[in-house]
Structures are given as C-alpha cells and as structure tokens.
Amino acid sequence: MLVRSAIAASALMASGVTAWNKDVHQQIGYSAEQLLTPATKSILHHILEPKYNGSIGLAASWADDYAHTTEGAFSYQWHWIDSADNPPYYCNVYYNRDCTKGGCVVSAIANQTQILKSCISKVKKGELVHGEDLQCSYALKWVAHFLGDIAQPLHASGVAAGGNGLDVVFGNHSTELHAVWDGWIVYADANVTSFPNTTIQPFFKDLVSRIHKDDFSIPTAEWIACSDPSTPLECALSWARDSNALTCDYVYSQAFNGTNLATSGYATGAYPIVEVQMSKAILRLGTWLNKLVAGNYDHGRNVVLQTNPSWLLGPDGGE
C-alpha cells in the first residue's frame, strides 16, 4: 500500500495535474448518474446545454473553470465555507459566523437548489427544452459540483485557507495540504495518475456497488438523513459540519513536519475517509436530484437565507 502511494504520487506530480480535482468531480457526477431514475435523467437532459448530452458527469467540473473567468469570478467563494474553528481541538461550522456576505458553499447549494426547482417545473410544463435557459443549466451544474465540494473536508475548514496555505510533502514533492485531499490521496488509493473524463471508471463503479450494498463502516442511510430539498440550507449546513468534523478527527490529527504523507501512513489512513466522503457526495447528489424531479419534498416551505456574517448570536446561537 505504501509503495503504491509513492508510485502514484510521483507519476501524478510528473504529469503536472493539480487540484476534489476536475476529473474527481466528473467521476462523482458519473457515479451519481447510476442512481438517477429515468424520469430524472429525462428532465436533466432538457436542463443542461446540448453539449453535455444530459450528463452531469460531463458537467460536474464546469463550476471550477467558470469561477476562474472574469464573468464567473463572483462564484469563486461559493466553493467552500471558512469555519473559524481550531482543529484538532475544536471543530464546527456556524452559518451566521462562517458564511460571508458574498456567499459560501452552504448558501450556494440552498440558492441554486431553489432555482433548480423552478427549472424542473418549467421542463415539466414544456416551457424549457434543450438547455435553452442558461440560468437553469448553471444551477444544475453548480448543484452537481457543490454537493461534491462540500464532502471534501478542507472545503469546510478555514484553517490556512482550507489547507491551501499549509505546505506539506507528498511523494517527495512539495505541495499544499488542500491539493493532497483534492486529488492526490484519491489517485494513490485508486493507483492511477488521473481518471479519464468520458465515463465512470472502475474505482468509482466499485464505490457505487458498495453504496447499493451499504458496504461502509457508516450506514448510508445516515448520509442522507437530511435530504429534503425544501430545507436546502439546513441540509447543506449539516453536510458541511459532517465534513468539518473530519478535520479534527483526522486531517489535522498529526504534526506534518516535512513528513512524506504518501509513505508515512497518512495517505493510507485517509483512503477509507475519501472513499466514504466521495460516496456521500454520490449518494446525496443522486438522491437530491431524484427528489427534486419527483417533487418529493415539502412544497409549502419557504427558505429565508441570511448570508451576512454576524456575531450577535455567537457560536451557540448560530445555525
């Protein structure tokens, strides 16, 4: 296992792949497609632009590219929530404290889910076909991407800008902790240097099979305990807190001090964690989209978002 980590890491560094990475997001999308009902697939086909051929796998990485354009720069901070905690001693996420005025991954999931609801309604009424409404296509692509982002522990951590400012060594190469969790641990676990972006790959096929079999240390039912699209803010916050807890439990549980994370045991200890976190993203995304299309949620609920940071209530009062 340690040798496998070192080989995969070295090959990855040589390939120049950097940051979950674009291909990992795509694989999460392809995997979630395996859980979609025929009705959901049909609806999504009309929401996405024709170039995606109805595939959320193809569309799942769009949000990263868009955030780095002039037009999409406003969405850059939607990919994370910077919790003001202190792992490994204390971990939690509070919405009023941690979600900034410009938004965060929690508010983005909630807002884009609301837009996506109306888009699904348009398709059902015959008012939207062939991805003609860009706002709707964007909403679906953001939801597909952000349900992946929120499962990556360092997208729910504010320490060193989500680990981007923490220098570490992986496979005898200098990098940042965030990049290690975005892709390098995943590649080492799968023994690849990257995943082709054309279809679901064997490593992720196995995760989907395990989801169907409920073959994880944590029951899959717990991953979707909150999965009602009428409460997107509540669910997204619970998912962020679930990921954030791992920064105390494992991500920052040891001193790095120049240790090679690929061969020290850190990577191998993280393998089951990234497998579970990616599987959570897969199951949540598939379940979320199926429920939205089926209308399996409380239509009467109104969601009111407060995106400005506030210390008036303090951590105990923040939700």
Q: Which residue has the higher pLDDT, 297 or 270?
A: 270
pLDDT band at 299 (very low <50, low <70, confident <90, very high): low
Question: What confidence score (pLDDT) does residue 2 get?
Answer: 39
In 52-77, which positions are buried (b, 16+ CB within 10 angstroms) versus exposed (e)?
bebbbbbbbbbbbebbeeeebeebbb
- Quote the CA–CA distance of 319 and 303 in Å, as a whole number: 14
Query: Which tokens is 269 given?
Result: 């200890």
Longest dimension (CA), the chain: 59
For the chain, which residues make up each domain, given as ranges? 2-307
The DSSP H or E segment spanning 170 is strand 167-170
* pLDDT tens digits, one per residue of 46-55: 999 999 999 9
pTM of the predicted model as reported, rounded to 2 decimal places: 0.89
Would you tell me which CATH number, out of the four given (1.10.357.10, 1.10.575.10, 3.65.10.10, 1.10.760.10), belongs to the domain 2-307? 1.10.575.10
Map residue 27 onto helix, strand or coil.
helix
- Cβ atoms < 10 Å from Cβ of 193: 19
- Between helix 38-47 and helix 134-149 the angle, nearest 10°, is 120
Q: Which of the pair, 82 or 17, is modelled with greater confidence?
A: 82
pLDDT surpassing 70 at residue 14 = no
For residue 308, the model assigns a pLDDT of 46
Give residue-wise pLDDT tens across range 119-138.
999 999 999 999 999 999 99
Residue 301 has a pLDDT of: 56
